Structure 1
Amino acid sequence: MIVKHLDDVIGTAADVDTAGWNSRRLIYKDAGVGYSVNDTIIKPGTEHEFEYKNHFETVYCIEGEGEIVDLATGVTHPIRPGTLYCLNQHDRHILRANKGTHMRMVCVFNPPLTGREVHDETGAYALAD
């Protein structure tokens, strides 16, 4: 059994902070469960273009408001607490947090992340060896 609290991660190497987001990585590939889990903050007023070519991601918003734009269709979906989205087709998208509010998201990746990933120039994570 793995039991962690967010306080166990904050301020460690598993707490990845950038200008636009902060990803607190709770469960990694090394847990052996077939997925990884992050508690991620999208910082207020920021915009990010991602395309996880090598991973599926499901995201559940627990705080804040913003939107996600499906770049294949141009459709924009509002995000608020209780919204879930699943990138089941490796969907290229833009994620925006509204000005004045962050979005706090629980993110599940399959295959699991190792915890050392950084986005490449396309907005993707490389597959772990």
Structure 2
Amino acid sequence: MIVRTLAEAERSERRVVSENWESTRMLLKGDNMGFSFHITTIYAGTETHIWYRNHLESVYCVSGEGEIETLADGKVYPIRPGTLYVLDQHDEHLLRGTTEMKMACVFNPPLNGQEVHDADGVYPLEAAASGKL
């Protein structure tokens, strides 16, 4: 059995911080669950270009408001508490935080732990990290 608290994970290497967001990786590849689970904060007033070419992601908004714009068709979807969006087609998108948003995220395949978006908004398929954070 794996038992972790968000507070413990936030004080460890499992917390990854960027200019627009921070993500606490609660479950990672090294936990051998077949997916990773993250609590991510999107900062207010930010726009992040994301394109998970190597991963599928589902995101549930716990708090805050923003929007997601899919670049292929220009559609904009509002995000507020209770909204789930699923990037099942490796959708390239812009994620905008109107207010600070707390999101629960699941990735398949699982992340190793220290991934950040590259210049194209992509997480590498295999990061250098061991995944044993």
Shorter-chain TM-score tier: over 0.9
1:1-129 equivalences under 5 Å are 1-98=1-98, 101-128=99-126
Q: Say how many residue pairs are matched.
A: 127
Deviation at 1:41, TM superposition (A): 0.2
Q: Partners in 1 of 2:126 and 2:70 — Cα distance?
A: 26
* Deviation string, structure 1 residues 31-65 (Cα, Å, up to 9, x no partner): 11110001000000000010000000000000000
- Segments of structure 1 that go 5 or more residues without pairing to the other structure are none
Q: Partners in 2 of 1:81 and 1:13 — Cα distance?
A: 28
Q: Partners in 1 of 2:7 and 2:95 — Cα distance?
A: 26
- Segments of structure 2 that go 5 or more residues without pairing to the other structure are 128-133
Q: Partners in 2 of 1:71 and 1:18 — Cα distance?
A: 22
Percent identity of paired positions between Structure 1 and Structure 2:
50
Q: Partners in 1 of 2:122 and 2:84 — Cα distance?
A: 20
- Greater than 4 Å deviation, 4+ residue runs: none
